[in-house]
Structure 1
Amino acid sequence: MTYTFKEDKQIDKEALKSLYEDVEWFAYTRDLDGLADALVQSLYVLSVWDNEELIGLVRVVGDGLTIIYIQDILVLNSRRNQGLASEMMHRVLEKYNDVRQKVLLTEEAADVRHFYEKNGFQSCDKGSLVAFAKLG
């Protein structure tokens, strides 16, 4: 299957709502205007499309020189385990290869831990959340 990757921060709010609600990130969809503004204000946004359907997205914040923070990475449930999240992560890490600190914060789950560790992140276990950082 061929997908289209886009580096565009302007994404239709209904497409965002569909994706974020599919992965049950309802806190974002309570304020679609705020979510759309957050994308525009982000350092980098990469989305994945199957024709006109938004099926994945990664959002990066930071200065892009010394630190990036991977804020969101999500893929429609029906499109998981097809390598899309890994491909988005690869493109982000390649784009910001020279940035020393690559950070994200996520909830603890075995599949989540496995995904980030296979993408080169190291766990910094503290409390009920897990922080991952890739230095170098």
Structure 2
Amino acid sequence: MNITYKQTKTINLEQVENLYNDVGWTAYTKNMDLLQQALLQSLDVISAWDGDQLVGLIRTVGDGLTILYIQDILVLDAYQNQGIASKLLQMVLQKHETVRQKVLLTEEAPDVRHFYEKNGFESCDKGSVVAFGRFQ
């Protein structure tokens, strides 16, 4: 397997839909036009490819100067635990190494916590930082 990485916001929507559905993020795929606009308006979209097949994607929003929010990071189930998500995350972090605040919200699960901690993130339930969210 030879995974290649691309920085582009224009990706075949059928492949994007397959990726999001594969990981169970169907709330995104209920409105593919909205998801396409979200990709186009993102700060970064970096995708992982096995030949012509989209196998992973990371998407960020923010100003790229003082705040970087990692909105989506996902990898096809069949390609998980092969370092693809870590590579995508490291590419974003290297690109924005001078940005002071790099944040994300995600579900609580031992494997999720382990993934982000091994990539240098700290949970806001530790230390002096507090996180708040408002969800609809």
The normalised TM-score by structure 1 is: 0.91
**1:95 aligns to 2:95 (yes or no):** yes
The structure with the largest strand share of the pair is 1
Query: What is the identity, as a one-letter code, of the residue corresponding to 1:51?
Result: G
Please name the residue that 1:52 is paired with: 52
Q: Secondary structure at the match of 1:37?
A: helix
List 4+ stretches of structure 1 deviating above 3 A: none
Query: What is the identity, as a one-letter code, of the residue corresponding to 2:21?
Result: E
Query: What is the identity, as a one-letter code, of the residue corresponding to 2:93?
Result: L
CA deviation map 1:89-108 (0-9, x unaligned):
11110000000000000010
Please name the residue that 1:19 is paired with: 19
Superposed, 1:1-136 pairs within 5 Å as: 1-125=1-125
Q: Cα RMSD between the aligned structures?
A: 1.4
Contact 2:19 2:75 in 1 (8 A): yes
Contact 2:6 2:46 in 1 (8 A): yes
Deviation at 1:12, TM superposition (A): 1.0
Q: How many residues are treated as equivalent by the alignment?
A: 128
Q: Which runs of 5+ in 1 are unaligned?
A: 132-136
Q: Secondary structure at the match of 2:8?
A: coil
Q: Secondary structure at the match of 1:89?
A: helix
How far apart, CA to CA, are the structure 1 residues paired with 2:78 and 2:62? 30
- Report sequence identity in percent: 62
How far apart, CA to CA, are the structure 1 residues paired with 2:125 and 2:108? 9
Q: Secondary structure at the match of 1:122?
A: coil
Deviation at 1:125, TM superposition (A): 2.7
Query: What is the identity, as a one-letter code, of the residue corresponding to 2:49?
Result: W
How far apart, CA to CA, are the structure 2 residues paired with 1:62 and 1:51? 30
